[in-house]
A and B are shown apart, each in its own frame.
Chain A
Amino acid sequence: MKRPKPGARIFYLLLGGILCSFPALAMDIDDAPESVTIDYLQELYEPVTFDHRMHAENYACNSCHHHTTGDGPHNAVCGKCHTTSPAVDDVSCSGCHEEKKTAPAPATDGTAGTLYHIDKPGIKGALHLQCLGCHAAEGGPTECQECHALTPAGRKRFLVKE
């Protein structure tokens, strides 16, 4: 993984510093796990060890956690409601993104919570959509097998001969 330019690093560190000075609002980098093991796809792929610390040191929390870590949303669409939202209890991806089987019926009751979030990706989609675009822009790994080593079942599925 390519590190961001020194300027950007300083900016993020400063940003992190500022955010950390409001512990009641935003989460601290030290609260974050060192690494996260992702094993939703273990039938076809070996589990992936995600270097959370490395990412947290180089990028703002809201680059990935939307608004849930309490540092204000990065995405303007989330900003419509969440500019001052505090940190939530469970900031893990799977805290919000379930394993999706079917698109949920868009809400009809008109409340904000049901008006938005009608198109929330499932956990697999959320992770890939979040990682892959950034990896392409930042020079991270983008080939499937750079992150996902195939299991024997995976090799069978993709018809990869030993």
Chain B
Amino acid sequence: MLEKISRRSILKNGLAGTIGALLLRPKAGESHDIKKYPNSMGVLVDLTRCVGCRSCEAACNAEQKLPEPMQPFTDMEVFEETEHGRQRRTDETRYTVVNRYEVPGQDHPLFRKVQCNHCQEPACLSSCFVNAYTKTPEGAVIYNADVCVGCRTCMVACPFYIPTFKYSSAFSPQIMKCVFCYDTRLKFGKQPACVEACPQEALLFGQRDDLIKIGRRRIEENKDGYQDHIYGEYEAGGTSWMYLSSVPFEEVGFDTNIPHEPILDSVKNFLGIVPMVLTIWPALFAGFHLLATRKEQPRISDDKNGQEDAQ
């Protein structure tokens, strides 16, 4: 008798759990204001000012003690480099790269600096199930290699293709990406090394809210010179690094199809079920197993109970 009750309760709990999981699913939009830090810092990148000098790349390499590249940072031939038909990307040896764009109708090339955008609602962070990522109140999205299991979900989740994997260390996995100079500078209120190095003030460090006001002012005072849009103000739920451009953003390599909602709202909803699934599934499968193996069990109970069981 006791055995039967527990068998039935297992099934019942399993069902209730599944329904519960579906009902308790976080609704879309609910997660929007979870991680908004009002005083978070950011950088406004003004493509109309960048001259492609690569001082920012050199400064990053030195600050983050990254491996020396083959070519010196004074070499402008890197702008010709393509890999699988696309321009240079950040990788485990470089947290930032500057790419050149020849835009039709422009009498000079344009340059775009790429690095982690330090999203307000980072997809890398939400997708990581061991919580290796942290969004600090200063705005940086930092990473803890000690807890990382090397599953690389964050690499897939990031809409900007930023996190990369250090392949040389398969046994101590490490994701490499820009950390906004958090440990060496941001934490102490100092601007990142790339910003400090930029001769053109194409990179402007400040409070994110102030940068949006400054960006709007630049657009307002020079309407012909700028697109009427600050890229990153809303993209992917908003990013700490934002951009101004004189030409449509898609012409200088930006993905303009990135939704304005945090990327991982839908994935978060899915992930919300994961812990429940983990607790429910053993019960469910135990139940299935018991049902499947029921006939093989010696029939100690009477017929009436057996029928009840099958219902």
A136 to B108, CA, bound (A): 10
Q: How far is the CB of B76 from chain A (nearest CB, A)?
A: 9
- Are the C-beta atoms of A103 and B207 separated by less than 8 Å? yes
Q: For chain A residues 104-162, which have a beta carbon within 8 Å of chain B?
A: 104-106, 118-119, 121-122, 124-126, 128-129, 132, 136, 144-145, 157-161
- Within 8 Å of chain A (Cβ to Cβ): is B210? yes
**Neighbouring B residues of A105 by C-beta, 8 Å:** 206-207, 210
- Within 8 Å of chain B (Cβ to Cβ): is A37? no
- Within 8 Å of chain B (Cβ to Cβ): is A100? yes
Partner of B210, one of A103, A121, A136: A103
Segment among B65-73, B135-143, B147-155, B253-261 that sits at the interface with chain A = B65-73
**Neighbouring A residues of B218 by C-beta, 8 Å:** 119
User: Count of chain A residues with Cβ under 8 Å from any Cβ of B?
Assistant: 26
- Are the C-beta atoms of A77 and B221 separated by less than 8 Å? yes
**Neighbouring A residues of B210 by C-beta, 8 Å:** 103-106
Segment among B96-104, B164-172, B196-204 that sits at the interface with chain A = B196-204
Q: A101-B190, A125-B200, A128-B199 are in contact. Are A160 and B74 (CB under 8 A)?
A: yes
Q: For chain B residues 176-201, which have a beta carbon within 8 Å of chain A?
A: 190-191, 198-201
**Neighbouring B residues of A102 by C-beta, 8 Å:** 191, 205-206
- Are the C-beta atoms of B204 and A103 separated by less than 8 Å? yes
- Are the C-beta atoms of A128 and B73 separated by less than 8 Å? no
**Neighbouring B residues of A144 by C-beta, 8 Å:** 53, 55, 74, 199
- Within 8 Å of chain A (Cβ to Cβ): is B49? yes
**Neighbouring A residues of B59 by C-beta, 8 Å:** 157
Q: A100-B201, A102-B205, A103-B44 are in contact. Are A119 and B217 (CB under 8 A)?
A: yes
Pair count A-B, CB < 8 A? 71
- Are the C-beta atoms of B211 and A103 separated by less than 8 Å? yes
Q: Which of A103, A118, A119 has the most CB of B within 10 A?
A: A103
**Neighbouring A residues of B62 by C-beta, 8 Å:** 157
SS class of chain A's interface: helix, strand, loop or mixed?
Answer: loop
- Within 8 Å of chain A (Cβ to Cβ): is B286? no
- Are the C-beta atoms of B205 and A132 separated by less than 8 Å? no
- Interface code A74-99, partner B: CB below 8 Å = 1, 0 otherwise? 00010000000000000000000000
Q: How far is the CB of A108 from chain B (nearest CB, A)?
A: 10
- Within 8 Å of chain A (Cβ to Cβ): is B21? no
- Are the C-beta atoms of B206 and A103 separated by less than 8 Å? yes
**Neighbouring A residues of B72 by C-beta, 8 Å:** 158-161
**Neighbouring B residues of A132 by C-beta, 8 Å:** 51, 200
A104 to B73, CA, bound (A): 31
Interchain Cβ contacts under 8 Å between A and B, 18 examples: A100-B201, A101-B190, A101-B205, A102-B191, A102-B205, A106-B213, A118-B217, A119-B217, A124-B199, A125-B201, A132-B200, A144-B74, A157-B59, A157-B62, A158-B58, A158-B72, A159-B58, A159-B68
Chain B residues at the A interface, C-beta cutoff of 8 Å: 44, 49, 51, 53, 55, 58-59, 61-62, 68-69, 72-74, 108, 190-191, 198-201, 204-207, 210-211, 213-214, 217-218, 221
Chain A residues at the B interface, C-beta cutoff of 8 Å: 77, 100-106, 118-119, 121-122, 124-126, 128-129, 132, 136, 144-145, 157-161
**5 interchain residue pairs of minimum CB distance:** A125-B201, A103-B206, A159-B72, A158-B73, A128-B199
